[in-house]
Amino acid sequence: MDAKYPVIESADSFEIEGGETGILLCHGFLGTPQSMHELAASLARFGYTISCPRLPGHGTCVEDLERFSYTDWYKRVEEAYHDLKRTCSSVYVIGQSMGGTLALDLASEYQDMDGLVLLNPAIRIPDFEPYRNGTGYVSEGRPDIKRQDVEEITYDKCPVRAYQQLLNYMDAVREKLFRIDVPTLSFQSVEDHVVPPENTDEIMSQIQSEHKEKYVLTDSYHIASMDHEVEVIVEHTVQFIHDTSMNDTTDHTAEEVFK
């Protein structure tokens, strides 16, 4: 569907031009690419080409979210993945929360992916199960970020229909985990008030990847890309890419990429 509602300032898709190694960033449910700005800026210092698409219905208004299904969200990241593949010799995918669900889905379909990085990925959220039925809206509180000096762009309420799409999507992706055999690095916050940390353990036990790493975050909540340990995430991700990629094109030049 064509855009019907204006995009909130700083919430739209972005790209950063870099070298031969591409990174696709997938934001989470109700979030926007703004939640990935700091992570992207830090990764960009190492010379990566970065793409972060805005999922349909996100970053505009809550009425817009009701217009789309999880297949629309997947199609958007799939398009961005193919765009990176056309310009980069290797592509890694980083997904946070439902962005991790999307990244897992991509990895189950595209075995040419060079690596997968998961930030508190979601495949099973018991607290959302009551929304399997019903209509209307659910009030949303402050996003789950330990830092108090940052604010995520999101909605203050969510359509029950959107929760149903998320629940159905997690069900579908759980059934595909056995297909995944790309190198995988996961980050698991020990204190996450949205997605039970056990999601990460279930994923890592089900995927078939020979190269699997897990790093535990002790000073971050669910939205780890905006929390205290974002530079820890960058450090381990850069090392993971270096260890698994044939194209170490990082140039270590730092520049301001966001205003």
**Over the stretch 33-69, which tens digit does the pLDDT of each residue have?**
999 999 999 999 999 999 999 999 999 999 999 999 9
Phi and psi at 228, nearest 5°, equal -65, -25
Residues composing the chain: 259
**Mean pLDDT across the stretch 164-189?**
98
Q: Tell me what the mean pLDDT of segment 134-146 comes to.
A: 96
Percent of the chain with pLDDT over 90: 93
246 has a pLDDT exceeding 90: no
Residue found by looking up tokens 């990082």 in the block: 250
Average of pLDDT values for 233-255?
74
Q: Is 186 helix (H, G, I), strand (E, B) or coil?
A: strand
pLDDT exceeds cutoff 60 at 255:
no
Q: pLDDT digits over 110-126, tens only?
A: 999 999 999 999 999 99
Find, among 83, 79, 125, 82, the residue nearest to 100 by Cα.
Answer: 125
b/e per residue 50-66 (b: at least 16 CB within 10 A): bbbbbbbbbbbebebbe
* CA distance to 5, 56, 176, 202, 254, per residue, from 28 (Å): 20, 12, 19, 19, 27
Superfamily classification of domain 14-244: Alpha/Beta hydrolase fold, catalytic domain (3.40.50.1820)
Percent of the chain with pLDDT over 70: 93
Positions marked catalytic: 97, 192, 222
Instruction: Tell if the pTM clears 0.85, that is, is over it.
Output: yes
Neighbours of 79 (CB within 10 A): 11
Q: Which tokens is 173 given? A: 């992706």
Checking if the pLDDT of 99 tops 50, the result is yes
**pLDDT tier for residue 200 given thresholds of 50, 70 and 90:** very high
